[in-house]
Amino acid sequence: MSFPATRLSVVERTRSLDEETRRVAWATIIEAYWKPAYKHLRLKWSLGPDEAADLTQEFFTTTLEKDVVERYDPARARFRTYLRLCLDGFAANARKAERRLKRGGEVTIVPLDFQTAEGEMARHEGSVDADVDEIFYQEWLRALLERSVAELKQFADGSARPIMFDVFARYDLADEGDARPTYADLAHDLGLTAATVTNHLAAMRRQFRQIILTRLRDLTASEEEFESEAARLLGSRR
């Protein structure tokens, strides 16, 4: 299957009359965006860890309360760009007001693990001089791929074929600096034939692509935005 089936995007589902649908949609948005938002505040706005965590919480609380998503117009910008601009505006206002930022205690849909996010900051490979939109994209992409890999593992476990994920992890998720093993090495290590390794890897990559496209479809607000994001993710590198 080349395309995930068309369904309402998370943006559209935040406007649903059904409370549970809205809650899940919000959880999806926050899950995809809280880390990029936190890191953006740390890098672009040079906020300390606590201040950035507070502002991230408050941003999503305010976004929820003040119908920020309701005002989003897909014709004017990608949803990711829109949210980032809203975040910048929110941070600028907070700085202007020089007010103490309150904790956004209402947003508990998804637990936000700021400690982990802060730990990742130390390994951040980008530069504060890099294009802010590019950094935000890279963090958004990192979050998307992390969730997609986790879903792929669930898929393999659920199919009672965890070995398939092992093949994928050892080949396509090899640690940085490690040389990629050959198919023969993998076959030897995992007690499989080289042909089985090839088949498992192909199946996992196919499923992984499908998971990513489905998630992208969910996170984008229009067909054009989806195709543009997918082409960028799967195609040319900047």
Which residues sit at the interface with other proteins, rule CB under 8 A? 1-3, 116, 119-120, 123, 125, 138, 141-142, 145-150, 168, 172-174, 176, 202, 205-206, 208-209, 212, 223, 227, 230-231, 233-237
Minimum distance between the CB of residue 91 and other proteins, rounded to whole angstroms? Answer: 24
SS3 content of the chain, % helix, strand, coil (to 5): 65, 0, 35
Q: Is the Cβ of residue 22 or residue 232 nearer to other proteins in the bound state?
A: 232
Helix (H, G, I), strand (E, B) or coil at 212: helix
Minimum distance between the CB of residue 168 and other proteins, rounded to whole angstroms? Answer: 7
Minimum distance between the CB of residue 2 and other proteins, rounded to whole angstroms? Answer: 3
C-alpha 104/C-alpha 57 separation (Å) is 5
* 226 neighbors 234 (Cβ within 8 angstroms): no
Minimum distance between the CB of residue 208 and other proteins, rounded to whole angstroms? Answer: 6
- Say what the alpha-carbon torsion angle 43, 138, 30, 38 is, to the nearest 10 degrees: -10
The helix (run of H) or strand (run of E) holding residue 10 is helix 10-13
Spatial CA neighbour of 171 closest among 194, 126, 201, 135:
201
Q: Is the Cβ of residue 18 or residue 146 nearer to other proteins in the bound state?
A: 146
Q: Is the Cβ of residue 21 or residue 126 nearer to other proteins in the bound state?
A: 126
What is Dmax (Cα atoms) for the chain? Answer: 65
Spatial CA neighbour of 147 closest among 28, 64, 231:
28
Q: Is the Cβ of residue 105 or residue 111 nearer to other proteins in the bound state?
A: 111
Minimum distance between the CB of residue 143 and other proteins, rounded to whole angstroms? Answer: 9
C-alpha 6/C-alpha 125 separation (Å) is 36
Minimum distance between the CB of residue 67 and other proteins, rounded to whole angstroms? Answer: 30
Q: Is the Cβ of residue 103 or residue 180 nearer to other proteins in the bound state?
A: 180
Q: Is the Cβ of residue 69 or residue 216 nearer to other proteins in the bound state?
A: 216
